[in-house]
Structure 1
Amino acid sequence: MGLHIGICEDDLIHIKILKNHIKEVIKSKNLPFEIYEFKSGEELIKNYPKYLDILFLDIQMEGLTGMDTARRIREFDNNVEILFTTSLNEYVYEGYEVRAYRYLLKPLTYEIIERHLNECILNILEKSKNFLIINNKNKLIKIMLDDVLYMETEGRELVIHKINDAYKVKMSMRKLEKLLQGKKFFRCHNSFMVNLDKIECIDKNIVYINKAQIPVSKHRIQSLKKELTNILGAIIC
């Protein structure tokens, strides 16, 4: 796994210090990595990398502030881990809004970067076990399993449904079922697989997920209810 790390900071000296610390930490782990540098929030938004795992983001920048930059980022990227860098701690509560991973107070010593970056990398490696890479219209797309509502077969293709998106991929339901073995997904019908975390209600042989009504095979309904009760403690209507 390669790490893609961004630094958004309007002070060139701080960029250099932070970059050197990051390189030392990552090299000790023998992980491939790439570091992207941005000198303003505007530049970051305009040239946002295709893949970004970790972002060190200065809060107190001229123009678009770090907090406003983070808000913009969350409009299209919910996965990047944001580590704010700042000389003040007054922005901590605002960070909940943009799901900031950490706040690092300047000056940024090697020990500070090492501790927080190591913890962040471990978190990312754990999360990396929880995604699919699909080929959609000749594009490789990373889909976090936590964002998936359900999947269904449509002709010879699978449709993966998220809240605001749907992706088609040439794969059999049987193969997908094997890939997701051990995850919180249940094949409720020959043509449907659901994310157990997303189920809102089961009414007779219908599962309700985000306004979608998904059929459940008669011979699978009891297994589904048992799975929900055991894993999620769900209320079945």
Structure 2
Amino acid sequence: MIKIAICDDEEKAIALDEEVVKRSLQQCGIGYEITAYTRSSNLIDDIADDHFFYDLILLDIEMPGISGMEIPEKIRAFLPNVKIIFVTSHIEYAIDAYELSVFRYVPKNNLDQKLAAAVTDAAKWIELEAGQEYTIQTSSRMEKIPFKDIYYIERDGKNASIISRAGTSKVRKSLQQVYEELNAPEFLFIDRGYIVNIIQVMKISGGTAVLKNGERLPISRSHLSEVKQQINRFWGAHI
């Protein structure tokens, strides 16, 4: 079940967005729950004060009070993984998707095609991120780390350190052992000392992988071409 918020100051626009969302997800067989907002402040209050959870938010850019452009920064601390789709008639705006963590930008005059594709892609990504867990078990503790929360794994002497949203967890295994235990297509070696989670990669800049948490990891020259190809293949297969 994907939880979706639609925020637009025009009720007619909300109805059109909702119609496209429902049709798109029903065709994919994906369950959904939609909440509509005509005031951006109400959306922010629900998320910040009442801790409402949403997987996907559709936002108009130009709204009275708090604009759609301001919302991503205000809710990021509460919903770090939320997917945001801007739906707007103001196509002249230059959207910095990297800074605002915006999943897609859709013009209102092309809702049927562009919004349907954006919602379908976002829903598939959300389901992918919901995936499995990696379990660390010793004589004294057991820890489960959701795959979607793992940024990367690095070699740390005889240990492998798993860096995730919860912090750093060490396991006395080689990187190769951890990689084989993960056994998931979103994880790949980018260097002999690093395994990265493709889902957490924002971009490849030169010989560096830039992650969603702001960290930058080196990609060895021998791996660079293959890393780019594997990332393209991964998203081609899943989105």
Q: Does 1:6 align with 2:10?
A: no
1:116 equivalent in structure 2: 118
Equivalent residue letter for 1:166: G
Q: 1:151 to 1:17 in 2, by over 3 A?
A: farther
Secondary structure of the corresponding residue to residue 59 of structure 1: coil
Normalising by structure 2, report the TM-score. 0.59
* Aligned pairs for 1:84-233 within 5 A: 84-107=86-109, 109-124=111-126, 127-128=128-129, 132-133=132-133, 143-145=148-150, 147-150=151-154, 160-162=162-164, 165-166=166-167, 177-181=179-183, 183-184=187-188, 194-195=194-195, 230-232=222-224
Q: 1:19 to 1:167 in 2, by over 3 A?
A: farther
The answer (yes or no) to whether the contact 2:2–2:31 under 8 Å persists in 1 is: yes
Task: State the aligned residue count.
Answer: 198
Cα distance, 1:68 vs. partner?
Answer: 0.5
Secondary structure of the corresponding residue to residue 64 of structure 2: coil
Name the CA distance, whole Å, in 2 between partners of 1:74 and 1:106. Answer: 25
- Mark the runs of 5 or more structure 1 residues left unpaired by the alignment: 153-157, 201-209, 211-226
- Indicate the structure (1 or 2) with the bigger Cα radius of gyration: 1
Name the CA distance, whole Å, in 2 between partners of 1:149 and 1:159. Answer: 6
Equivalent residue letter for 2:100: V
Question: 66-75 or 43-52, which moves further after superposition?
Answer: 43-52
The answer (yes or no) to whether the contact 2:88–2:108 under 8 Å persists in 1 is: yes
Equivalent residue letter for 1:56: L
Equivalent residue letter for 2:188: K
Name the CA distance, whole Å, in 1 between partners of 2:32 and 2:120. Answer: 14
Equivalent residue letter for 1:24: R
Secondary structure of the corresponding residue to residue 184 of structure 1: strand
Cα distance, 1:118 vs. partner?
Answer: 2.8
Question: 10-19 or 116-125, which moves further after superposition?
Answer: 116-125
2:32 equivalent in structure 1: 33
Secondary structure of the corresponding residue to residue 36 of structure 2: strand
Question: 171-180 or 8-17, which moves further after superposition?
Answer: 171-180
Equivalent residue letter for 2:152: V
Q: 1:35 to 1:108 in 2, by over 3 A?
A: farther
Cα distance, 1:78 vs. partner?
Answer: 4.2
Normalising by structure 1, report the TM-score. 0.59
Q: 1:75 to 1:31 in 2, by over 3 A?
A: same
Equivalent residue letter for 2:37: F
Secondary structure of the corresponding residue to residue 105 of structure 2: strand
- Mark the runs of 5 or more structure 2 residues left unpaired by the alignment: 136-141, 202-206, 208-214, 226-239
CA offsets per residue over residues 166-220 of structure 1, 9 Å max, x none?
Answer: 1669x9969955442362269x9xxxx953589x9xxxxxxxxx7xxxxxxxxxx
Q: Does 1:67 align with 2:69?
A: yes
Q: 1:166 to 1:23 in 2, by over 3 A?
A: same
2:83 to 58, 81, 84: 81
Cα distance, 1:84 vs. partner?
Answer: 0.6
Equivalent residue letter for 1:35: I
% identical equivalent positions: 21
Secondary structure of the corresponding residue to residue 28 of structure 2: coil
